[in-house]
């Protein structure tokens, strides 16, 4: 799933002048969208504890904002992702319709939305959307912006901001969080997965994914709720 991208243009460069590149860090919030949260009415793929984790991520963002130089928020933005959507999903490679572009299910969980509003202007923030016309699990498969001339990959965004280390949180531990973390490691970033700020579709598989990440060099802190 890993994609290699060239280095960037910048809307975040205004925040980067004079900073030491190796020490710069980013919080990556993965797919904390209404359709993935069990406490949201009409959620088509509500993950158990998704709503709880959304609130915890919001609390972490408010309390730890000064620890980061950049915030990245990723989200599914499906237009026509082909066989990723199925009327008879296997819940591994195919899924019910979810996070359709422009629908309420694709918006951030209200508690994350509130936290983003609370920190607005205090931290440069980039939204990465993925999966418009194909399956996309890793945030590194997504892009910033909608116009072709403005589209930057997540890797380009991070390298443009001289980011070297990532804290990764979000939904789901055993799918998009794990895929994002794997790609980050393969691209050479130092990563920490804040397990208590993730929620797994399958708790056992989530634990296996975290163990595999640790074996590959990720730092793990905490475990998903179960």
- Domain membership of residue 3 (yes or no) is no
User: In this structure, what CATH number is given to the domain that contains residue 157?
Assistant: 3.40.50.850
Instruction: Quick: pLDDT tens for 27-73.
Output: 999 999 999 999 999 999 999 999 999 999 999 999 999 999 999 99
Q: Is the pLDDT of residue 81 over 80?
A: yes
Confidence at residue 22, expressed as pLDDT on a 0 to 100 scale: 54
The answer to whether position 8 is within a domain reads: no
Domain assignment present for 101: yes
For residue 11, tell me if it sits in a domain. no
Q: What is the pTM of this model?
A: 0.88
Structure tokens at 220: 């793990």
Residue 149's pLDDT band (cuts 50, 70, 90)? low
H-run or E-run covering 205: helix 203-215
For residue 226, being part of any structural domain is answered with: no
Q: Give the count of beta carbons closer than 10 Å to the beta carbon of residue 113.
A: 15
Domain hosting residue 66, numbered range: 25-221
Does any domain span residue 134?
Answer: yes
Residue recorded with tokens 């179960």: 226
Please check the confidence at residue 16 and state whether its pLDDT lies above 60. Answer: no
Instruction: Look at residue 35 and tell me if it is in a domain.
Output: yes
Sign of CA dihedral 124, 189, 59, 128: positive
Q: Give me the active site residues, please.
A: 31, 130, 176
Q: Name the domain count of the chain.
A: 1
Going from the C-alpha of 208 to that of each of 91, 108, 137, 180, the distances in angstroms are 17, 27, 17, 15
Q: In this structure, what are the phi and psi dihedrals at residue 186, rounded to the nearest 5 degrees? A: -65, -25
DSSP code of 150? G
- The more confident residue out of 102 and 23 is 102
Any domain includes 75: yes
């Amino acid at each position: 799933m890993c994609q290699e991208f060239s280095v960037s243009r910048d809307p975040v460069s205004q925040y980067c002048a004079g900073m030491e590149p190796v020490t710069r860090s980013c919080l990556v919030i993965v797919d904390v969208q209404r359709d993935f949260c069990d406490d949201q009415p009409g959620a088509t793929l509500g993950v158990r504890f998704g709503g709880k984790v959304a609130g915890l991520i919001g609390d972490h963002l408010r309390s730890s904002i000064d620890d980061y130089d950049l915030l990245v928020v990723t989200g599914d933005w499906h237009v026509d992702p082909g066989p990723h959507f199925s009327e008879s999903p296997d819940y591994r490679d195919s899924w019910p319709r979810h996070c359709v572009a422009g629908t309420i299910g694709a918006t951030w969980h209200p508690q994350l939305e509130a936290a983003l509003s609370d920190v607005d202007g205090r931290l440069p923030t980039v939204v990465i959307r993925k999966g418009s016309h194909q399956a996309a699990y890793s945030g590194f498969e997504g892009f910033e912006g909608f116009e072709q001339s403005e589209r930057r990959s997540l890797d380009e965004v991070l390298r443009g901001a001289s980011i070297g280390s990532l804290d990764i949180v979000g939904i789901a531990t055993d799918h998009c969080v794990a895929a994002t973390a794997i790609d980050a490691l393969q691209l050479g970033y130092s990563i920490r997965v804040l397990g208590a700020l993730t929620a797994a579709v399958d708790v056992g598989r989530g634990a296996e994914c975290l163990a595999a990440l640790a074996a590959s060099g990720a730092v793990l802190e905490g475990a998903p709720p179960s």
